[in-house]
Amino acid sequence: MAQQPLLSVEEARARILAALSTTQSEIVSLAQASGRVLAEEAIARRTQPPADLSAMDGYAVRADDVANVPARLRVIGTVPAGGSYDGMLGRGEAVRIFTGAPLPNGADSIVIQEDTVRDGETVTVNEAAQRGQHVRVTGLDFRTGDAGLPAGRKLSSADIAFAAAMNLPTLAVHKRPVVAFFSTGDELVPPGTEPGPNQIVSSNNAGLGALIAEAGGIPLDLGIAHDNEDDIRAVASRAADADMLVTLGGASVGEHDLVQRALAPAGLDIDFWKVAMRPGKPLMFGRLGPLPMFGLPGNPVSAFVCATLFLRPAIARMQGGDSALHTTLARLGKPLPANGPREDYIRAALDHVPHELPVATPFDRQDSSMLSVLARAGCLVIRPVGAPVAQAGDSVTVLPLRS
Ligand code: AMP
Ligand code: MG
């Protein structure tokens, strides 16, 4: 494992995505479907609207009767939403109608009540009607058998309303993958405990758990392993029923690749373990037995950037969803030096400017341990390998960190 060329970020992501399979599907109620990824096309079980319906409160009429206005019509009945008018509307007649009510037979148009004056059994129409105006014709929205939502769709609130209208009380979605993870380090204690001398609080467990959940996975926090091979193997063995394993730390050269040495006897099969990026060069991907496995760097910002660039797309792919990174353009708020041989992910503030590109202003401190800077960052500015000096105002590609 010693001699391995650095992979590009793109190539590393492609290899990860190619190695993953999607989870099985399960049936969930609409109340549980938000943010889930459809496993099967959702097909309409009914036609909507089921009949020609009024789109307004007013009068159902024949357009020919109100071609010349004012026109006086005889009101022969009323039809509310959910009701019907069973008679036939003839020449010179109108039916009082409300939004969502079916058009009476013989009527072809709706005049809105604001364009009428009612006097007992008579209504005076003051505006001519286009034939079919304010009528929602049968099947305007969708018809029985229509393909409403495609497989692979991450369900929004609008999608769920659409599914309900199609009379689908449940949907087939991909199971959320269970992502087990643990940190390594004798210096780490959980938040809320009192660190001993020279110890620090583990931030990666909590942060990664949140990121996994945001990406649609089910986080399984296995805690903190000590810096020895036996403990790392013991903790990793508790991930057996998960869909994926992530280790944090113990991966840098200074740690002599502790995780790799610990898990080799447990069946670790490494695909790659170095990526040409900053922060986060010691990123490992492979399999532990059948389990896809990431080894993320321990530095909190490196761990977060690697999880954002690789683990999030992986979780999306396992759910059959969109694994693309949604980068966008921004203007630089200040100059940046030329970049070297590693793709750089620079923490930056992102300020929205109405009707223009947002402004990305890199923070001066880019140390990969600094969570105060990461938490303030609105985006990562992506500096390609070998990018030349950039000036304030230049357009750059950024990955927004907040939606
Ligand atoms: P390592 O990859 O184990 O060499 O860790 C690199 C740096 O990240 C060290 O300074 C660790 O103390 C720190 N670190 C490792 N794991 C965590 C964690 N879970 N939370 C906060 N810092 C960590
Ligand atoms: Mg360590």
If you take atom 8 of ligand 1, which residue's CA is the nearest one?
299
In angstroms, the CA 183 to CA 204 distance is 7
In angstroms, the CA 196 to CA 326 distance is 42
If you take atom 10 of ligand 1, which residue's CA is the nearest one?
299
- Between the CA of residue 345 and those of 150, 225, 278, 301, 305, what are the distances in Å? 34, 29, 6, 10, 8
Beta bridge partners of 79: 97
Most distant CA pair in the chain, distance:
94
pLDDT score, position 264? 94
Going from the Cα of 173 to the center of ligand 1, the distance in angstroms, rounded, reads 36
State yes or no: pLDDT of 80 exceeds 70.
yes
Torsion of CA 23, 26, 30, 33, to 10 degrees: -20
State yes or no: pLDDT of 38 exceeds 70.
yes
| CB contact set of 21 (below 8 Å; sequence gap of 6+) | 318
The C-alpha angle with vertex 316 and arms to 311 and 318, in degrees rounded to 5, equals 95
* Bridge pairing between strands 116-119 and 71-79: unpaired
- Ligand 1 atom showing the smallest separation from residue 258 Cα: 3
Helices (H) and strands (E) in the chain, counts: 8, 26
- Ligand 1 atom showing the smallest separation from residue 202 Cα: 20
pLDDT in tens, 198-235: 999 999 999 999 999 999 999 999 999 999 999 999 99
Ligand 1 close to Cβ of residue 313 (< 6 A):
no
Q: Which residue has the tokens 């549980």?
A: 32
Going from the Cα of 372 to the center of ligand 1, the distance in angstroms, rounded, reads 16
Token pair listed for 350: 């992102």
Query: DSSP per residue over 151-162, as a string?
Result: TTPBPPHHHHHH
Global pTM?
A: 0.92
Ligand 1 close to Cβ of residue 58 (< 6 A):
no
Ligand 1 close to Cβ of residue 302 (< 6 A):
no
- Ligand 1 atom showing the smallest separation from residue 254 Cα: 4
Q: Strand, coil or helix: what is 349? A: strand
Classify residue 73 by burial, with Cβ atoms within 10 Å: 0-12, 13-18, 19+.
Answer: buried
- CA atoms within 13 Å, Cβ hemisphere of 300: 18
Q: Which of 182, 184, 186, 188 to mutate to test the pocket of ligand 1 (most atoms within 8 A of CB)?
A: 188
DSSP label at 254?
G
Q: Please name each of the domains of the chain with its CATH number.
A: 9-23+176-318 (3.40.980.10), 25-48+141-174 (3.90.105.10), 53-136 (2.170.190.11), 328-400 (2.40.340.10)
pLDDT in tens, 284-299: 999 999 999 999 999 9
Token pair listed for 132: 């079919």
Give the torsion sign (CA, 190, 194, 200, 201). positive
In angstroms, the CA 228 to CA 250 distance is 10
Per the CB < 8 A criterion, the answer to whether 314 and 293 are in contact is no
pLDDT score, position 273? 87
Token pair listed for 2: 């010693």
Residue of 89, 114, 90 whose CA lies nearest to 104: 89
Going from the Cα of 17 to the center of ligand 1, the distance in angstroms, rounded, reads 26
State yes or no: pLDDT of 1 exceeds 50.
no
In angstroms, the CA 43 to CA 27 distance is 15
pLDDT score, position 403? 75
Ligand 1 close to Cβ of residue 202 (< 6 A):
yes
Side chain identity, residue 207 = G
* Bridge pairing between strands 268-272 and 284-288: antiparallel
Ligand 1 close to Cβ of residue 188 (< 6 A):
yes
State yes or no: pLDDT of 180 exceeds 60.
yes
pLDDT in tens, 92-146: 999 999 999 999 999 999 999 999 999 999 999 999 999 999 999 999 999 999 9
pLDDT score, position 133? 97
